[in-house]
Amino acid sequence: MSSHDTDQSASAEGRAPEHAGRRHRRRRRRRKAGIWSLLSVIFLAGAGTLYALSFLGTPITLPDWLRGRIVERINTDAGDLQVDLDEMVVVIEEGWVPRLALRGVTLRGADRRVIARLAELGGTLAMRPLLSGELRPSQIRLSGLQVNLRRNDSGEVGVQLGGIAAAPRAAQTAGGAGGAPAAMRDPGALIAEIDGALARPAMAALRGIYADNMTLRYEDARTGRAWTIDGGQVEATRQSGMLRVRANFALLGARAYPSTLEFSIASRIGSRAAQLALNFSDLPAGDLAMQSPALTWLDALDAPISGALRARLDGAGDLGPLNASLQIGKGALRPTAGTTPIAFDKAGSYFTYDPKAQTIAFEAVTVESKWVTARAEGTAHMIGGQNGWPDELQAQLRVTDIVADPADLYDTPIALDSAALDMRLRLAPFHLTIGQLSLSDQGRHLVLNGDLRGQEDGWNLALDGRMDGIDKDRLMALWPEAAVPNTRSWVDENVARAALSNVQLAVRSLPKHRADVFLGFDFDQMQARFMKQMPPIENMKGKARLLDGRFVITADEGTIDPGAGGRIDIAGTSFAVPNVNREAPPADVRLRTQSTITAALTLLDNEPFRFLSKQGRPATLADGRAAIAADLGFPLIKDVQTEDVAYDVTGILEDVSSEVLVPNRTLSAERLDLRVGPDGLRVAGQGRLGAVPFDGAYTADLGPESAGSTVDGTITLSQAFSDEFGIGLPPGSLTGGAEARVRVDLPPGAAGGTSETGAPSGSFTLNSNLAGLGLSLSQLNWSLPRAAQGTLEVRGQLGDPLQIEALTLDAPGLSATGRVALGAGGLLDRATFSRVRVGGWLDAPVTLVGRGRGAAPGVEVSGGVIDLRRADLAGGGAGQGGPIALSLARLTVSDGIALDDFRARLSTAGGLDGTFSGRVNGGAAINGQIVPQNGRSAFRIVTADAGGVLGSAGLLKQARGGEMELIMTPAGAPGTYEGRLSGGDIWLTEAPALAELLSALSVVGLLEQMSGSGIHFSDVDARFRLGPERLTVYSSSAVGASMGISMDGYYYPGSKRMDMQGVVSPLYIVNAIGGMFTRQGEGLVGVNYTLTGAATDPTVSVNPLSLLTPGMFREIFRRQPPERRAPEASRPAQSDGGEEGGTAAAPPSAPREINPGRRGGINSR
């Protein structure tokens, strides 16, 4: 089969005479008469020839002269019709049936235009008319006939008899040698002409016309295509007044299969009404679609079609309803070369076309493919167009027997109940609009609408759909296993049940672009697991969306039962697959929970996380509420391993209370922030530990090579801190508060106490600058103002008990460095400070020894120094304090006076109370007692070597022997004491100051006595005030048989300088008789003196006139002694130290004996 343009036929039509009216019809009648005359002559000549020759079955070719005469006679009788013959042959067949064959026949009209060309025209004659002398054909056979069919733009079909197929092509053109081709005739007119010819007497015996080797050329001006078919056969028979024409053709083309056509017409002779039938096999759908308006919808198919068409022409020649039966072979829907074929295995249709109503009634439309099998019925209306050819079809179809198995995706094909389709198909270009496709499935309805366009570059699809609902089991049945398999597998394994509603679908697909798919639905009563190891979400309600390849499920309601702590509200939780088109796509879970802390921690302690188990913590470690946001990521594969899961968990813990996190303490917080990720776990916020505020964070490394966990934050050092942790400071010792930085490092597996082996389970540090904290240690007379700053550093090991490896305190006026060991129950065992410095008066190692719960620790000082010049050792209150054991290298009493190797055993219960001993300036030994007095401490010192003590003190280095008692009571500023010294039996030798004095007095005998065995003093008494920088002697006396001496004034131990005055009374044993009228140690006769300057080389001044002045009158020759002031309050006055800035206080007037073990004051005698 071949096709070409129909320009040739169009031009032929263009050359038809415009004046074809009445004159043309006259010529046509003459032409017909000429044909029949020609036939009569031929048959007559043939009969005569046969008769003459009497040769049976032998072809006899008539000579040219006879053929010429016959042709001339025919042309004369034919009028306008002209005949040319190449050859004439006569054959007498068996039964004496004559057969005539004319070869190379050309029929022309009056205008010399070719009417027909026949390779051979022959037939047989009816014998009975022949015997009567009449030549009447019984059969006519044609060979090589060319028939042209042409359909114009309006769809009207014309018939033209053409020339011999083998004739030159130029002969078929208007300008060829043979003239113009014959005019086109419409089928109705042709039938009428055939009927008229058959009604002639000459054709009364004709029973059939047979044609072979026929060439049919079909030109379609509407589509611009042409087809040429060779080797066709046509058979026309007449019987009982009926004319039946049957034709069949075989078509070959570029396809792999041939096509066959069988056409038949049945018509009663004399009537233009006819029955038309066309049977065909393997005809291309596109070619078939061009032949009738009822078939135009087949144009988009690429498939062979077999079937039959039945129609009827009425008496007016108009076409009636067309009945069609189509069987469509394996092919595809493919309107353009650029569209991807939509394949099917086979299809079929039975329909009736009403050309007047322009409707198609589909009794059945069937389709079978790997994707879907269905059957439909309904009606289509053809809309628009010109000349009866539609632009579009609008159809309403009911679809049944729907079985879907797209691309063998299902093990068992899916059967759907039925569907109703309203559609519109625009033919050129292909545009299918689905107004509504309603699919029914198990009581549910899926409604689709959209557009499908076949463009030059591919399909353009826009499809929307909605469904009232579907359950999970039906969804899984409809969801092919090969379609996004990992997402489907996850849904199948993790969604136990669900009721879906308000299902929305949208598909947008442009040529050469990935399709955009939207799927949305609501769900209720869903039970699903977001991870295989996690407990399921129950009664979940929410929405799901698939857009741009991203699938998201969001829960508006739902709960989880973790097994402890009550149900968890998961409203706001979502599950997402960012790209369902990927193989093993990643999935994201955004878990949002509201629950108790116990429930949340129980959930987070499931596999694969085990956050708490890894830290050795129970899920019940705290009460309160938790709002958790956990973002999880993992691939959608069957066996998800822990290392496949990425996670980031944040949360807010509110109204937190725990007695587990810190043993024996209640931890509380209004809010704590939780975060868990691959880098670890973190809980941070502000709260209280007991009554102590804190702001910190707990972090833990959760990896397999975990370095452990850390607590890092700040706490407030305050009186509440001291009370909470039992530090034991007296009430009021701390005011305000200072921020302290705390860090606790816990090894893997530790829970903040001890490890599984019992070893310390972590270390800690505490650092503070003490800013804002007021600290007062009244026992040490030390305080830290809140405006001041210092440094506190603590380092230790957690465990049972706690171990403090290093403690450093450095503040104005106080520093200490040491370590603390705790015993069972966290009680103090021993705190050892290698060095403690307080206010410039204490610099020594100090050890605090625990004495059990509720008891103040004991104090041990081993080595170091105490400087009483700067100290004010408060007595404390009743019932407070613990024992103190002092072993000092030196106790400095004042400038130039110190006690070396000082030992003391003291009690602080009610104030300092105990005994002590030491060596004055490393020399003579003394013993003493200390008792509380007026909120401070009073001292009693005794010695059996009074001379040695005085000498060691630098007062009288040449004194020896004797006993002495010294009583000092606190007065004035720190380091200031009122004192009284009493003793006797003291020998004084080589005293420089006294020697100078005696020399000045020219008391030769006493000088000689001093340089010998010494001067003996039987009684020594002094009252004084000892300050940090000065010794004030109110009065003092030393008397013996040889002399008496009195002295008052000032001594500066630091510079060892003096400013003294007094009276020397020689021969005191006699002179003392008048002592009742003078000061103690002075006689009736005495000499006033002064000693100034260095104690080792004083300046001596005497007043000789005083010798002549009796006792009481010597006062006029000397200054007043130092004034004794009234006693002060128990707390020391703030001064610059010593007498210079304070007020002297007289010792108590009522002395008492010091009794070891007895608590009370010390009085002078």
- The amino acid occupying position 195 is D
Instruction: Output the DSSP codes for 4-29.
Output: ---HHHHHHHHTS-TT-SHHHHHHHH
The first and second tokens of residue 1051, run together, are 């001594």
pLDDT of residue 672: 93
pLDDT-wise least confident of 58-62, 339-343, 1077-1081: 1077-1081
pLDDT at 39 over 80: no
Count CB neighbours of 1013 within 10 A. 9
DSSP 504: E
pLDDT tens-digit readout, 527-544: 988 777 788 889 999 998
Q: What is the DSSP letter of 67?
A: H
pLDDT at position 116: 73
If you average pLDDT over residues 507-521, what whole number do you get?
85
**Cα separations (Å) of 1094 from 270, 1024, 1037, 1060, 1097?**
177, 20, 21, 11, 5
- Looking at residue 1074, its pLDDT comes to 55
- Mean pLDDT estimate for the chain: 77
- Residue 1142: phi and psi, rounded to 5, are -120, -170
913 has a pLDDT exceeding 60: yes
Q: Which region among 293-302, 318-327, 666-675, 1107-1116 has the lowest average model confidence (pLDDT)?
A: 1107-1116
Average pLDDT over residues 2-29: 41
Percentage of the chain beyond pLDDT 70 is 76
Residue 961 pLDDT level (bands cut at 50, 70, 90): confident
Q: Which strands make up the sheet holding 734-736, listed edge to edge?
A: 734-736, 773-777, 782-784
Mean pLDDT is highest, among 468-482, 537-551, 943-957, 1097-1111, for 537-551
Give residue-wise pLDDT tens across range 557-603: 999 998 888 999 999 999 888 888 787 788 888 989 999 989 988 88
pLDDT band at 213 (very low <50, low <70, confident <90, very high): confident
CA dist., res. 943 & res. 603, Å (int)? 80
Q: In this predicted model, what pLDDT tens digit does every residue of 899-908 receive, in sequence order?
A: 899 999 988 7
pLDDT at 559: 92
Label residue 1135 by pLDDT band (50, 70, 90): very low
Between 992 and 352, the more confident residue is 352
**pLDDT-above-90 percentage for the chain:** 18
End-to-end Cα spacing for the chain:
156
997, 1064 in Cβ contact below 8 A? yes
Phi, psi of 1163 (to 5 degrees): -115, 150
pLDDT in tens, 765-791: 889 999 999 988 766 677 889 888 999
Residue range 789-798, pLDDT digits in tens = 999 898 888 7
Tell me: the pLDDT tens digits for 295-351?
999 999 999 999 999 999 887 777 889 999 999 999 999 999 889 898 899 999 999
- Which position has the higher pLDDT, 585 or 724? 585
Q: Which two tokens stand for residue 884?
A: 């103190």
| CA-closest candidate to residue 403, choices 435, 438, 367, 451 | 367
Residues 6+ apart with CB under 8 A from 690: 665, 666, 720, 724
Q: Report d(CA 701, CA 80) in Å as an integer.
A: 116
As a whole number, mean pLDDT of residues 287-291 equals 86
pLDDT of residue 49: 46
Q: Measuring CA to CA, which residue among 106, 62, 113, 108 is closest to residue 88?
A: 62
Q: Cα–Cα distance between 1001 and 1014 in angstroms, integer?
A: 17
Per-residue burial over 525-544, b if 16 or more Cβ lie within 10 Å, else e, is ebbbbbbeebbbbbebbbeb
Tell me the residue ranges of DSSP E strands in 999-1123: 1015-1017, 1019-1026, 1031-1039, 1043-1052, 1057-1066, 1087-1094, 1098-1103
Phi-psi region of 876 (alpha: psi -120 to 50; beta: other; left: phi over 0): left
732: alpha, beta or left, given left = phi > 0 and alpha = psi -120 to 50? left
Nearest to 1020 by CA among 1034, 1036, 1035, 1041: 1036
Q: Is the pLDDT of residue 1011 over 60?
A: no
Confidence (pLDDT) at 727: 65
Per-residue confidence band for 705, with pLDDT thresholds at 50, 70 and 90: low
Q: By mean pLDDT, which of 405-419, 903-917, 924-938, 1024-1038 is the weakest?
A: 405-419
Write the pLDDT tens digit of every residue in 1030-1072.
Answer: 889 998 888 887 788 888 999 888 888 889 998 887 766 656 6
What is the b/e burial string over 1043-1055, where b = at least 16 CB atoms within 10 angstroms of the residue's CB?
A: bbbbbbbbbbbee
Average pLDDT over residues 411-439: 89
Find how far residue 1154's CA is from the centre of its chain. Answer: 82
**Contact present, 790 and 810 (Cβ < 8 Å):** yes
Extended strands (E) in 799-827: 803-811, 814-822
Per-residue confidence band for 380, with pLDDT thresholds at 50, 70 and 90: very high
pLDDT at 876 over 70: no
Among 88-97, 351-360, 416-425, the least confident range = 88-97
| 798, burial (CB in 10 Å: exposed 0-12, middle 13-18, buried 19+) | buried
Q: Can you give the pLDDT at residue 348?
A: 95
CB 947 within 8 A of CB 920: no
Copy the structure tokens of residue 928: 């003493």
* Contact indicator for 859, 848 with CB cutoff of 8 Å: yes
- Mean pLDDT confidence for 622-641: 85
pLDDT at 369 over 50: yes
Indicate whether this model's pTM tops 0.75.
Answer: no
Q: Give the pLDDT score at 1073.
A: 62
Q: Please give the pLDDT value at position 280.
A: 92
Q: Running DSSP on this structure, what letter comes out for residue 95?
A: T
The C-alpha atoms of residue 1132 and residue 873 are separated, in whole angstroms, by 11
Decide if 732 contacts 776 (C-beta within 8 A). yes
* Closest C-alpha to 129, from 194, 73, 197, 207: 207
CB 979 within 8 A of CB 1023: yes
* Inter-residue contact 956 to 942 (CB < 8 Å): no
1121-1134 average pLDDT score: 54
Tell me the average pLDDT across 216-230.
81
The DSSP letter of residue 760 is B
- Most confident option among 800-804, 1088-1092, 1128-1132: 1088-1092
Q: What residues have CB less than 8 Å from 1014, skipping those under 6 apart? A: 958, 960, 987, 988, 989
Is it the case that residue 490 has pLDDT exceeding 90?
A: no
Instruction: Please tell me the predicted confidence (pLDDT) of residue 18.
Output: 42
And the tokens for 32? 């017909």
Q: Which residues contact 528 (CB under 8 A, 6 or more apart)?
A: 494, 495, 496, 498, 536, 537, 540
Element (H, E) at 1138: helix 1138-1141
70-79, 105-114, 746-755, 818-827: least confidently modelled range = 746-755
Which H helix or E strand runs over 863? none
Q: Which residue is associated with the tokens 């290298």?
A: 889
Question: Rounded distance, CA 638 to CA 532, Å?
Answer: 10
At residue 541, the pLDDT reads: 94
pLDDT for residue 763: 84
Specify the higher pLDDT residue, 56 or 24: 56
Asked whether the beta carbons of 249 and 225 are under 8 A apart, the reply is: no
Q: Is the dihedral of CA 718, 724, 727, 733 positive or negative?
A: positive
